[in-house]
Structure 1
Amino acid sequence: RREHLIMKMLQVENYIEAYLKSYQDYKTEWNYEDGCILIGAEALYKATKDKKYLEFILNYLDKRIDKNGKIADLNPVEYNIDNINSGRVLFTAFKETNNIKYEKATESVKYLLNIHPRTLEGNFWHKGRYPYQVWLDGLYMAQPFLTIYSNEKNDENGIKDVLNQFRNVRKNLFCDDKKLYFHGFDETKTMNWADKETGRSKNFWARAVGWYAMALVDVIEGIDNVVFKSYKDELVKLYVELMEGIVKYQDESGLWYQVMALEGKEGNYLETSATLMFAYSLLKGVRLNLIDKIYLEKGRKAFDGVVTNNLKEKAGKLELGNICIMAGLNGLIPFNGDRDGSFEYYISEKVGSNDPKGVGPLFKAYSEIILLGDKGGN
């Protein structure tokens, strides 16, 4: 069994190397999909100290950031919460190079948050085109950056802001019955996917829950200033509660279904990106001593399940398959049909391979396996 596990880990390493070597930027403008890969590479750099990962990040940033820290093609009045995500790697870029342009670029990203519109309760809108909407995805896009920034600047108001946004999401989107979070909340309660009384969407989309799980564990790690311990402790409680909820829905294969809590429904499928997000969140929580060691086995099972079932060779190249390419909810402007939050909608979205939203979490989960010293298994 040990030899089998080592072979699987070699397969993962070969895939990561080939993927980064041939990586084509997702879009020309600053975007969160590239950020998924950058943050994954950053996690691998921190776990291995291998400079190739840092070089990948710096090569990407240097194409987009001038010497004054201005980020090309960044439109501040788009009010797009996704644009914060890639900014996380700027802290590492500055620490490793001391190049002031990266520090200036973090201020460019922070400015986007300063002007970003908010719900009446104080949460960032998902985007300008989704007014008064909060999606779980957006917590991952913005909160880790805001946490690292506020922690470094010793800014208590910034950390309070982070905690308040998580508190609101717990209040508005947590389902006590299922112990899971609904995908989105519409403060106006007017969208066709929103419950007219609660403003909640109808279903538990696994990747949305995965974004949220990663947001929590990354924010917790990002608070190392002892002054903020009480805030951190409250976030740890939210994280532990969520981990207890998600493991109830893990399939025997180790994977999770695209729509959680409807596992037996026809058309539902075991989805890669969410599973890797949960694997990462579980493994990291064990490493940080936030959850019991029994969760290590569940995190490993999730990672191994993806590698066994969905990392396959096709035409001489490894492919990470069964990734939901995109899903969302309706906003003011229609987007690719009716994103009405129904089960039928979530299973209708395109499924593909090698998408950054699955590959980035693979990098992150593998970095935790390295840090846990668990590459060969027991």
Structure 2
Amino acid sequence: MALVGSTVLTGCSTAPVVKVPLEYSIEMADAMMARYDSIVHHMDHLDKRASWQYDYALLAEAIGKLEKYTSNPAYGKYMKDFFDYYVDSLGNIRYYKLEEYNLDKIRPAVPLFSLYERTGDSCYIRALYQEIKQLETHPRTKEGGYWHKKIYPHQMWLDGIFMASPFMAEYAKMFEQPQWFDEAVRQITLIYDRTLDARTGLLYHAWDESKTQRWANPETGQSRHFWSRATGWYMMAIADVLDYLPENHSGRNLLISIYGKVASALLSVQDPDSKLWFQVLDCGGREGNYLEASGSSMFIYSFAKGARKGYLDISYLDVAHEAFDSLVSCLMKPDKANGWIMTQICGGCGLGGKPYREGDYHYYVTEKIVENDPKGVAPFILAGMELHDADLVLKR
């Protein structure tokens, strides 16, 4: 459901949060499962032709992970049913076309690692082989950075790091191919260097090597604004890559350093009233900007995981808890029939293309605002689980 023009500019005062984060993750997952008996049907309901999409795959993955916390096999089955719709017995992936060279089509394969470990079914391995073949020949910048998509030549987007780097890191570990560890690190560090704003420490949404796109700064190639969800994807990517990167890898300390620097920059633009983050990160008081649920959920996940793993100071866990509670109070509303509804999720933002997206401030704040989009719901569910884990490890 689109809610064009729905905005919240400052903090909010609503009922206090009375449950622990994991309970909200479970209730949100239950709400999604109650509405739709499968995520494929959910896509059909939204008039989106079923396809190999990262956002719905991430929602299936998030719901599936709840089986570990609840011992309820229904969550794992819900996830497996989604991926078995796409991956046939020979490992072919429905709707996947390698020759499109689209990083968004790499991310959906990440849960196939765990499905193989759980079932031993070789179809998942064959599907993973298809995905790695794409990355072997995927177009690159002169420095070796992956183009976000073939239709966006010479461009690296922050989003693309989450789409590919965690996959490469897990592939490297499972198949003992360390060159993919190196590649995952290279993509993370390349885009950091190219999108970094030295003044704020924040990262621009994208970078155009050719410096020819209308959205690109003609001198730096950087896009114009700091989009919350793009930075959220990037932070989640680093957190997840570090799960697999060997302790002695030469790039590990650099990734942890970048993680800390971006986290610190995000604290500087956190809304002091709501403790959440705005759609355009550094423009909190500007007309049209709004507190955005998906980016905020991603930062909560990244802060909690960073604190739990020791990449960030333990104080980031307190920041994550406060933000999670505020997100529940401000941006979640009860649905009497099916639990919770997550509001104020940016439907999507890109650059260039047809029709052309200029990437100016007006563009970012006028793209449609939606409810219960998987790009918000999935990170929220993951954030609740991560807060639970962090509390156990750090005995909070």
TM-score bracket relative to the smaller structure: over 0.9
1:112: which partner in 2? 134
2:389: which partner in 1? 371
Cα drift, residue 69 of structure 1: 0.9
Q: Confirm or deny: 8 A CA contact 2:165 2:185 kept in the other structure.
A: no
Within 5 A, what are the aligned runs for 1:84-233? Answer: 84-223=106-245, 225-226=246-247, 228-233=248-253
Q: Mean alpha-carbon deviation: is it higher for 357-366 or for 229-238? A: 229-238
Aligned CA distance change for structure 1 residues 274 and 10 (closer, same or farther; 3 Å): same
Is residue 285 of structure 1 aligned with residue 298 of structure 2?
A: no
1:139 is paired with a residue of what secondary structure?
helix
The alignment of Structure 1 onto Structure 2 pairs a total of residues equal to 369
Across the aligned residues of Structure 1 and Structure 2, the Cα RMSD in angstroms comes to: 2.0
Aligned CA distance change for structure 1 residues 173 and 302 (closer, same or farther; 3 Å): same
Q: Confirm or deny: 8 A CA contact 1:42 1:89 kept in the other structure.
A: no
The one of the two structures with greater contact order (alpha-carbon pairs below 8 A, sep at least 6) is: 2
2:267: which partner in 1? 247
Looking at structure 1, the residues matched to 254 and 262 of structure 2 have their Cα atoms a distance apart, in angstroms, of 13
Cα drift, residue 50 of structure 1: 3.9
Q: Confirm or deny: 8 A CA contact 1:282 1:298 kept in the other structure.
A: yes
Percent identical among aligned pairs is 33
Is residue 275 of structure 1 aligned with residue 288 of structure 2?
A: no
Q: Confirm or deny: 8 A CA contact 1:8 1:307 kept in the other structure.
A: no
Cα drift, residue 249 of structure 1: 1.2
Tell me the TM-score normalised to structure 1 length.
0.92
Letter in 1 for 2:278: Y
Cα drift, residue 118 of structure 1: 1.1
Cα drift, residue 76 of structure 1: 1.2
Structure 1: runs of 5+ lacking an equivalent: none
Looking at structure 2, the residues matched to 12 and 57 of structure 1 have their Cα atoms a distance apart, in angstroms, of 15
Aligned CA distance change for structure 1 residues 143 and 80 (closer, same or farther; 3 Å): same
Cα drift, residue 372 of structure 1: 2.4
Cα drift, residue 231 of structure 1: 2.0
Is residue 257 of structure 1 aligned with residue 278 of structure 2?
A: yes
Is residue 64 of structure 1 aligned with residue 86 of structure 2?
A: yes
Tell me the TM-score normalised to structure 2 length.
0.88
Q: Confirm or deny: 8 A CA contact 1:32 1:85 kept in the other structure.
A: yes
Cα drift, residue 152 of structure 1: 2.3
Aligned CA distance change for structure 1 residues 98 and 245 (closer, same or farther; 3 Å): same
Cα drift, residue 54 of structure 1: 1.8
Letter in 2 for 1:346: Y
Deviation per CA, 1:222-276: give whole Å up to 9, x if none: 22x34x4322222111111111111111112121000011111111100000000
2:12: which partner in 1? none
Letter in 1 for 2:18: L
Aligned CA distance change for structure 1 residues 298 and 124 (closer, same or farther; 3 Å): same
Q: Mean alpha-carbon deviation: is it higher for 311-320 or for 88-97? A: 311-320
Cα drift, residue 156 of structure 1: 2.5
Cα drift, residue 316 of structure 1: 3.7
Structure 2: runs of 5+ lacking an equivalent: 1-15, 44-48
Cα drift, residue 211 of structure 1: 0.7
User: Out of 346, 366, 375, which is 1:348 matched to?
Assistant: 366
Looking at structure 2, the residues matched to 10 and 221 of structure 1 have their Cα atoms a distance apart, in angstroms, of 25
Looking at structure 2, the residues matched to 163 and 91 of structure 1 have their Cα atoms a distance apart, in angstroms, of 20
Q: Mean alpha-carbon deviation: is it higher for 4-13 or for 149-158? A: 4-13
1:56 is paired with a residue of what secondary structure?
helix
Q: Confirm or deny: 8 A CA contact 2:158 2:206 kept in the other structure.
A: yes
1:359: which partner in 2? 377
Looking at structure 2, the residues matched to 64 and 11 of structure 1 have their Cα atoms a distance apart, in angstroms, of 29
Letter in 1 for 2:225: N
Aligned CA distance change for structure 1 residues 21 and 105 (closer, same or farther; 3 Å): farther
Is residue 302 of structure 1 aligned with residue 323 of structure 2?
A: yes
Cα drift, residue 114 of structure 1: 1.8
Looking at structure 1, the residues matched to 311 and 64 of structure 2 have their Cα atoms a distance apart, in angstroms, of 22
